């Protein structure tokens, strides 16, 4: 049998293992989160299928952060291994073009590259940066409705910023995290938040910028829900330390809707 091996063909005698890194953006509105789930549409599901078809070999993704249903991403990162052949070397740009042609605009590969053999999208990450947008004005904006939570009542941004500062540092965020359903042992809810602040993006748009080594389930949405309650005067900014100390979801029941949240960036060394 003669002829050149196809891209990534595991049948080539000269195949070698290559680790690939992708930076991915997606509109989470039509997906049941990132993680693959049988019977429902997920980002991992459509991305894995498109990659496997183009590469003509199975692909198993490692992801920096598993976003929930309806949550968006601008700087999500995934890594995976492929069998590559020197006869027809893997071309990251060709893969990027092919996947974008198949999945855009819902899912877009912003960057594609060959990574170091020890790179791992999840474990190599040093921090995750999330952004939550709040549209604070009387009338809704149809052009921002898909990516910002509309809050019609005026918000006290200064009070929200004071409350946000209280979560910076290493804390137990049990009050703001949903406990995993399938856990053999109690999971630690201790996380190290390195930055949390509100930014006035324009006259009506507020952005909550938060960065941490990692986040637990629904942590950012729960923080935003509580901070908006502070901005509306329903809670006091100086309550945040006691809410954290309570270590109970009952202490912070407000949950912001998912469509305002975006995984903005993953930080690597």
- So which residues are the catalytic ones? 68
User: H/E/C letters for each residue in the chain?
Assistant: CCCCCCCCCCCCCCCEEEEEEEEEEECHHHCCCCCCCCCCCCHHHHHHHHHHHHHCCCCCCEECCCCCCCCEEEEEEEEEEEEEECCECCCHHHHHHHHHHHHCCCEEEEEEEECCCCCCCCCCCCEEEEEEEEEECCCCCCCCCCCCEEECCCCCHHHHHHHHHCCCEEEECHHHCCCCCCCCCCCCCEEEEEEEEEEECCCCEEEEEEEECCCCCCHHHHHHHHHHHHHCCCCCHHHHHHHHHHCCHHHCCCCCCHHHEEEEEEECC
Distance CA 137, CA 217 (A): 29
Distance CA 211, CA 122 (A): 15
Tokens of 29: 């509105």
Are the CB atoms for 149 and 71 separated by under 8 Å? no
Are the CB atoms for 196 and 165 separated by under 8 Å? yes
Please state whether the peptide bond connecting residue 204 to the residue before it is cis, i.e. omega within 30 degrees of 0: no
């Amino acid at each position: 049998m003669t002829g050149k091996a196809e891209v990534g063909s595991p049948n080539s005698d000269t195949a070698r293992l290559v680790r690939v890194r992708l930076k991915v953006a997606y509109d989470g509105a039509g997906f049941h989160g990132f993680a693959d789930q049988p019977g429902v549409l997920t980002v991992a599901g459509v991305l894995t299928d498109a990659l496997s078809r183009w590469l003509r070999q199975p692909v198993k993704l490692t992801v920096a952060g598993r976003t929930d249903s309806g949550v968006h991403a601008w700087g999500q990162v995934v890594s995976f291994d492929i069998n590559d052949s020197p006869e027809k070397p893997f071309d990251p740009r060709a893969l990027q073009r092919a996947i974008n042609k198949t999945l855009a605009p819902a899912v877009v590969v912003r960057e594609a590259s060959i990574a170091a053999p020890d790179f791992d999208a999840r474990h190599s990450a040093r921090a995750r940066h999330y952004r939550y947008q709040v549209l604070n004005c009387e009338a809704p904006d149809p052009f921002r409705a898909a990516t910002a939570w509309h809050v019609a009542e005026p918000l006290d941004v200064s009070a929200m910023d004071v409350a946000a500062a209280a979560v910076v540092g290493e804390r137990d965020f049990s009050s703001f995290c949903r406990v995993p359903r399938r856990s053999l042992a109690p999971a630690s809810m201790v996380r190290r938040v390195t930055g949390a602040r509100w930014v006035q993006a324009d006259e009506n748009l507020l952005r909550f910028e938060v960065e941490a080594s990692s986040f637990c389930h629904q942590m950012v949405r729960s923080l935003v829900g509580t901070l908006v309650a502070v901005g509306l005067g329903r809670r006091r900014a100086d309550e945040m330390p006691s809410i954290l100390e309570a270590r109970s979801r009952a202490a912070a029941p407000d949950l912001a809707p998912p469509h305002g949240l975006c995984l903005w960036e993953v930080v690597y060394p």
